[in-house]
Amino acid sequence: MQRQFYILDVFAEQKYAGNQLAVIRHGAGLSSEEMLAITREMNYSESTFLLSEEKRDGGYDVRIFTPGGEVPFAGHPTLGTAWLIQQEIIQQPVSRVVLNYQVGQIPVDFTYKNGQPDEVWMQQLEPQFGATFPAAAVAEVLGLPADQIDQRFPCQEVSTG
């Protein structure tokens, strides 16, 4: 089966800028290993695989891969993939596109100017707060002097997906 793929520039005001993203359509027939191989071939920080062009439970099924493996959620791939769905599948202005990920549904909202998407933003999941780390250890890992870490704020692992 032939599959279409798109190269997008996310967070960009012009071509060949921003964060690159590969979006592969009709990905349902691919194994995880094939998705990883395609992602490595594309050689971008992330690639997404649109599993179906039909909604399931109100959203579109998507998987995200980095060259190191699958990830449950990531920001710029979410925005870019939702934009592509609006432009290429829905093909008309909509206020929201929902993506189904391993972490759950992520809504992506659109505003328009002259009939074209002007702003695209997402609602992330509630943050999960993990371990805290000594500021001195974080500074050392980053190669910074310890006084460059503001002690008023914790160095903490936080995830929204």
Write out the catalytic residue numbers.
Answer: 46
SS3 160: coil
For β-strands 47-50 and 60-66, DSSP reports them as antiparallel
The answer to whether 38 touches 24, Cβ cutoff 8 Å, is: yes
The dihedral over CA atoms of 103, 75, 108, 26, expressed in degrees to the nearest 10, equals: -70
Report in angstroms the alpha-carbon separations of 73 from 9, 53, 63: 18, 19, 8
Q: What is the sign, positive or negative, of the torsion defined by CA atoms of 80, 84, 86, 92?
A: positive
What number of other Cβ atoms are within 10 A of residue 89's Cβ?
A: 15
Q: Which amino acid appears at position 30 of this protein? A: L
